[in-house]
Amino acid sequence: MRSAQRRRPPSSQLALAAVAALALEACGPSTQMPNANTAETHDQYVEAYNIVSAIDYLPFEYAVDGCYARSLYMSMELATQGIPSRSVFAKSTSNVPLETQDGTEWGYHVAPLIKDGSNGGETVIDPSMKAGAYLTMDQWIYDMEFSQAEIDIVSVQGSYYGSPPETADPAVDDFASLKPFNGKDIVNACNVLYNYLGSAGLNVESLAKRRAHLVQRTGELAEVLARKGKLVGAEALNGASCGGQDIEDNT
C-alpha cells in the first residue's frame, strides 16, 4: 500500500472542511504499490507518447468524470500497436477528495502507466492533468494535491474497466501477458465518452465530428484487438450503438 499525505496552506483549510462532508465523485469511487508494465524497448516507450498525443476524439477537456473510460481507450490505442500498459488508480480513503490544481475534485482517479524497459523509468499518461500529459508517479500524485487524506495506490491491467479494485494484478511484463479487453466494457466506455464530449465545451460542428470519430474509432480498435487476440466478449459489439450511432463491428 502506498499512502500520500499533503497539507494545504492555512488559507485553504476552511474550504477543505466545507467539502469534506460532501460525497466523493467518481473519476470520481487499493491497496498495493503499482507494478508497472514494461514497454519492451525505449523506442516503444517513445511511440506510446506519440500514440496518445495523436488522440483527438476523447473528452480530455472534461476532467470531472470519465477517467475510467479515457484510461481504457488510451490503453486500447497502445495495445493495437503492441504496447502493453497498466492502469494506476489513486483513491482517497477518507472524506477528503483528491483535488487538482484547478479545483477539480475526485473520489478516485485513474490513468495508464507505462515503464521504459531500457531504464525502468515510470510515466503516467494523463492528458486531463493541467500539469502535463506525461508525469512521473510522484508528479501525478503531487498534482492531485492530496490534503489531510490517506491515499491508496493500486495498479491493474490496462484492459481493466471499472472502479478501483482492492488488490493489484500481476505485473504486465510484455504484450503477451496483457489480458484481453472486454467487448461489453468497450461499449459502456464508448457511451460514457460520447456523453461527456457534450460537456467538453465544443461547438456544434466540433462536437459532431469528435463523436463520429469516437464511434468510428471504437469499431477500428475492436477489430485490431480481435486480430491480436486481445478481445473477449466480442458478441457485445454485435449491433451495439454508442450515443445512438452504430458501432461498425468487423470483429
CB count within 10 Å of CB 223 equals: 18
Question: Is there a domain that residue 51 lies in?
Answer: yes
> Both 227 and 127 in a single domain?
no
Question: Is there a domain that residue 15 lies in?
Answer: no
Question: Is there a domain that residue 1 lies in?
Answer: no
pTM: 0.84
Last residue of a domain, one of 123, 156, 178: 178
Q: What is the pLDDT along the chain (251 residues), one digit of tens a residue?
A: 344 443 333 333 323 233 233 334 457 533 233 334 555 566 777 788 889 989 999 999 999 999 999 999 999 999 999 999 999 999 988 888 888 878 888 999 999 998 776 666 778 999 988 766 788 888 888 888 655 667 889 999 999 999 998 888 877 878 999 999 999 999 999 999 999 999 999 999 999 999 999 999 999 999 999 999 999 999 999 999 999 999 986 67
Last residue of a domain, one of 119, 147, 178: 178
> Both 154 and 186 in a single domain?
no
pLDDT value for 40: 56
pLDDT value for 220: 97
CB count within 10 Å of CB 176 equals: 9
The C-alpha atoms of residue 122 and residue 172 are separated, in whole angstroms, by 13
> Both 167 and 189 in a single domain?
no
Give me the number of domains the chain comprises.
2
> Both 129 and 163 in a single domain?
yes
Report how far Cα 172 is from the mean position of its chain's Cα atoms: 17
CB count within 10 Å of CB 222 equals: 28
Cβ atoms of residues 107 and 29 within 8 Å: yes
Closest CA to 123 of 34, 231, 59: 34
The C-alpha atoms of residue 126 and residue 230 are separated, in whole angstroms, by 23
Long-range own/partner contacts, residues 5-13 (CB < 8 A, 24 or more apart): 5/146, 5/148, 5/149, 5/150, 5/151, 6/142, 6/145, 6/146, 6/147, 7/147, 7/148, 8/145, 8/147, 8/148, 12/147
> Both 83 and 193 in a single domain?
no
> Both 197 and 234 in a single domain?
yes
For 117-154, give one letter per residue: b (16+ CB within 10 A) or e: beeeebbbbbbbbeeebbbebebbbebbbbbebebbbb
Could you give phi then psi for residue 215, rounded to 5 degrees? Answer: -65, -45
Residue 211's domain comprises 182-246
